[in-house]
Structure 1
Amino acid sequence: MGVLNQKLQQLSENGQGSAGRALDRLPNLVQNSLAKALGYPYDYPALDSFTKCLMAAQLKQGKSGFIGADVERSRQAFETQIRSITHKSTHVQRVEDIRLPLQSGSILARHYHPAPHKKLPMIVFYHGGGFVVGSIDTHDEVCRLIAVHAKAQVISVEYPLAPEVAPQQLIQSCEDALAWVYQNRRQFKILKNRIAVAGDSAGGNISAVLAQRTANANYAPQAQWLIYPAVDFKSRHPSFFAYKEGLVLTSSDIDHVTDYYVTRHQMALDDPLISPINGQFKKLAPAYVITAGHDVLHDEGKIYANKLRQHGSKVYYQDYEDQTHGFINLTLVSSKAKKNVIEMSKSFRKFWDKVS
């Protein structure tokens, strides 16, 4: 009982730091007991017990969701949270920050190359964060794992964020980055016809939108990797109501994102630029779609995968049933999250090789 109280104290003080890594090593039964002792009020029996503890600790500290009324505070909190769990980054042979001189304005990107002397495919990665928070730093470890285990180059794009920019500007910047990578394919020694787009959450939305917008362009991606993507701002599916509280992404977060990214810029919720589920599905790149079982966005991601398949795209769909939205950002404290990202990266590469 004394050990349990000690863990409770550590977790309450630092939910996702060194205590998080210690917590990860405990048996599931102990993790569930900790969540109960912390007073976690939600009935998610199939939720990963480690995640349940983290959510319980956050609620105990009065924290809920990750995007609030103060944009700058939300951004700083997300960056601080990721820094607090960063312990030892995965080694990649070459990691370099570069500036992309785009028509829409110069932006920062980070290039990861696991084997600099080899020709490898390229994954253009757009980070998640509700179009409002997040950066190449918050998704650094994820991109490192992808580069190493997908055996591919990765360029992580620091696109401009809402609400300062409108969706048209944000998407144009991301499209220009994709076009720039294509134009510089020889300089990067990219394998012929092997450029993909990828991203989580908002980044999944961006990737899906770009796959549609560039379908007939010479720089269209040859594959799209959508990790729990936001693809439908207008509809509310059963998973939205089932998982809207007590997890990483809440209904309040969705409301704020909708305000910052859509409403303030006078966009219609069903505009394909916002909701690619309403876009055109002809001649789209093969898609590897990931959903988390305990996620407000679960159903729309699954529906999108089915719609892609119905329109003739090659699709691989996988649902991580015991995970919640944002699990790829927990790889530094959760062995299961890390295992999942490694598995996804290897599986995506196999899928991509097969459909190329």
Structure 2
Amino acid sequence: MTALNQRLQELLEKGQGTAVRALDKLPSFVQESLAKGLGYPFLFPDLDPLIKCMMAAQLKQGKSGFIGADVHRSRKAFDLQMQSIKTKPTAVKQVEDLRLPLQSGTVFARHYHPAPNKKLPMIVFYHGGGFVVGNLETHDEACRLLALHAKAQVLSIDYPLAPEVSPKQLIQCCEDALAWVFQNSRQLKILKGRIAVAGDSAGGNIATVVAQRTAQKAYAPHAQLLIYPVTDFKSRHPSFFAYKDGLVLTEQDINHVTTFYAEQHQVALDDPLISPTFGKLERLAPTYIITAGYDVLHDEGEIYSHKLRQQGVKVHYQEYPDQTHGFINLTPVSYKAKKYWIEVGKNFRKFWDKKAS
């Protein structure tokens, strides 16, 4: 291994964002060789070699997955991990922290407006993190890029986390946030009939559960953007067994999330409150679904897209075959992840505009 590879290996093992950014600029064969040098044991031929390196470095440190048995430790570790790859945030004209006085209690939110003097559509965004970790900061850069490239306002909701709250409480809070946006459309300068819900992973689950629950209400969303969503707590599909180890989201993570979000609150695994694939799918808003090729959740996202189509819902399904779960959080260090996420923002807006006309 060259001196450069050795230096990058040392920096990677410390988890420094600068090292990952430097590595991202190198040819893929160098990245592949570094992953091999770090002893990455998994045969994922088409996986982005940068991700292979990052996963290999984590495994070498004895780290696997991101949600452990200790909730508070998991939250702290996830926050630190996201801070370690942070770079200068993408500029958005107006970014403002708000307190939303909801029926279910006050929650914080962050409002991104790329053109404050203009009326724009609104995307209500629910962050990922297995319903257990994550916050406004961990998804700040993802929301900035979405606002800029979807040419829309984004309101990121800092909803309460499990296991401290039940699925019923968490979803009610997220539904109330959507209702608040609808009620304040004029003050927020939202184009009429242009409110969408969006989220990644657990947030994708929340977005579509909220869409199902509000389908017949005045404040039902007009579009959904679901990024590698959790849709089925009950079933185990082939992608689960293929990718349950050695990547961002592991079998252990899924087991802990199932305990914290479902079992501790006595919610059946096929209850549409947590598994929207078993919910009422008729008359739902047009839905744009993203999956990652190397992801335990890949198959349930794809199956959900088919189920929606069968019920007459307008669907656009897009897979990113060389990515893994969580790639929208890698935009500060990965050129590919950033390119893909920008593409999602632009294409979602085109899809939404087409379905709205």
Residue 189 of structure 1 pairs with residue 189 of structure 2:
yes
Give per-residue Cα distances to partners, 1:101-145, cap 9 Å, x unaligned. Answer: 000000000000000000000000000000000001100000000
State the 1:5 CA deviation: 1.5
Secondary structure at the counterpart of residue 87 of structure 2: coil
For the aligned residues, what is the CA RMSD? 0.6
Counterpart in the other structure of 1:259: 259
Counterpart in the other structure of 2:177: 177
Q: Give the whole-Å Cα distance in 1 for the aligned partners of 2:213 and 2:6.
A: 54
Q: Give the whole-Å Cα distance in 2 for the aligned partners of 1:33 and 1:214.
A: 50
Counterpart in the other structure of 1:4: 5
Counterpart in the other structure of 1:208: 208
Q: Give the whole-Å Cα distance in 1 for the aligned partners of 2:295 and 2:333.
A: 20
Aligned residues: percent identity? 70
Q: Give the whole-Å Cα distance in 2 for the aligned partners of 1:247 and 1:319.
A: 17
Matches within 5 A, 1:79-118: 79-118=79-118
State the 1:9 CA deviation: 1.5
Counterpart in the other structure of 2:25: 25
State the 1:327 CA deviation: 0.3
TM-score, reference length from structure 1: 0.99
Secondary structure at the counterpart of residue 10 of structure 2: helix
Q: Give the whole-Å Cα distance in 1 for the aligned partners of 2:346 and 2:103.
A: 34
Q: Give the whole-Å Cα distance in 2 for the aligned partners of 1:130 and 1:3.
A: 36
Q: Give the whole-Å Cα distance in 2 for the aligned partners of 1:12 and 1:101.
A: 43
Counterpart in the other structure of 2:307: 307
Secondary structure at the counterpart of residue 20 of structure 2: helix
Q: Give the whole-Å Cα distance in 2 for the aligned partners of 1:31 and 1:133.
A: 30
State the 1:13 CA deviation: 2.0
Secondary structure at the counterpart of residue 323 of structure 1: strand
Residue 13 of structure 1 pairs with residue 18 of structure 2:
no
One-letter amino acid of the counterpart of residue 214, structure 1: T
Secondary structure at the counterpart of residue 67 of structure 2: coil
State the 1:12 CA deviation: 1.6
Q: Give the whole-Å Cα distance in 1 for the aligned partners of 2:286 and 2:245.
A: 33
One-letter amino acid of the counterpart of residue 11, structure 1: L
Q: Give the whole-Å Cα distance in 1 for the aligned partners of 2:170 and 2:4.
A: 49
Give per-residue Cα distances to partners, 1:123-172, cap 9 Å, x unaligned. Answer: 00000000000001100000000000000000000000000000000000
Secondary structure at the counterpart of residue 180 of structure 1: helix
Q: Give the whole-Å Cα distance in 1 for the aligned partners of 2:316 and 2:301.
A: 12
Give per-residue Cα distances to partners, 1:71-112, cap 9 Å, x unaligned. Answer: 001001111111111111000000000000000000000000
Residue 322 of structure 1 pairs with residue 322 of structure 2:
yes
Counterpart in the other structure of 2:342: 342
State the 1:3 CA deviation: 1.6
One-letter amino acid of the counterpart of residue 282, structure 1: E
State the 1:279 CA deviation: 0.2
Counterpart in the other structure of 2:68: 68
Counterpart in the other structure of 1:36: 36
Matches within 5 A, 1:98-247: 98-247=98-247
Corresponding pairs, count: 355
TM-score, reference length from structure 2: 0.99
Q: Give the whole-Å Cα distance in 2 for the aligned partners of 1:314 and 1:13.
A: 45
